Amino acid sequence: MRIFLMKLLNVLLIAGILFFYQSYAMERKEAVDSYQKELAEYKKAKAALEKPYKNGVYEGVGKGFGGDITVQVTVEDDRIKEILVLSAEKETPEYVSAAKQLLPDIVDAQSADVDGVAGATLSSNGIIAGVKEALQKAKK
């Protein structure tokens, strides 16, 4: 009988250890899970800041030297992919061509906060303003 009781006590002891371990492990899992959740939310918010634009094609209009300049901004894979000048009728063609040099800069910077082209300031400003309006529409 004594052996039976000894062995029973032994088993209960082991069961007790396992029980306490399991409650520790579950607490730990809860803590890890809630941390992971917070981390995922933080990452999402950060990504939204870094990728502020929705995919799509957007138009914007800005005042150039002679009149309105219409631009088209294509956002693909959350990035500004391409910018086209749709119309710049009232601008002097040479100035528009010069100002278009800032378009790659906008794509590089992923923002319209770029310097205008020297000597084609107003056309540059028109394009920049148009792109800014288009990007406003593209904001998430």
Partner 1 sequence: MEGFKKNRKTKQAIWKWGRTGVQVIAFILAPSLFTQAFGGVKAVAETMGTGGVIVISDFLIRFGILCGITFLFGRIFCGWCCAFGAVNDWIYRISVFLQSRLGKKLPKMPESWTLVLQKLKYVVLLAVLICCFYGKSGWITGHSPWTVFSLLVGKNFRPAGYGIAIVLFLLLLMGMAVEERFFCRFFCPMGAIFSLLPELPFTALRRDEKNCIQNCSACRRSCPVGIKLGEDSLQAGECIRCGRCMQVCPRGNIRPGTGSKKKATD
Q: Which residues contribute to the site for partner 1 (CB under 8 A)?
A: 1-5, 7-8, 10-11, 18, 21-22, 25-26, 28-29
Q: Which is nearer to partner 1, 22 or 136 (CB)?
A: 22
Q: Which is nearer to partner 1, 10 or 34 (CB)?
A: 10
CB of 43 to partner 1, least distance (A): 24
CB of 21 to partner 1, least distance (A): 6
Q: Which is nearer to partner 1, 8 or 86 (CB)?
A: 8
Q: Which two tokens stand for residue 26?
A: 């579950």
Burial 63-89 (b: 16+ CB within 10 A, else e): ebbbebbbbbbbbeebebeebebeebe
β-sheet bridge partners, residue 82: 74
For β-strands 68-76 and 56-63, DSSP reports them as antiparallel
CA distances from 77 to 52, 53, 114, 132 (A): 11, 9, 22, 19
CB of 45 to partner 1, least distance (A): 30
CB of 132 to partner 1, least distance (A): 52
Q: Which is nearer to partner 1, 19 or 42 (CB)?
A: 19
Q: Which two tokens stand for residue 11?
A: 């088993």
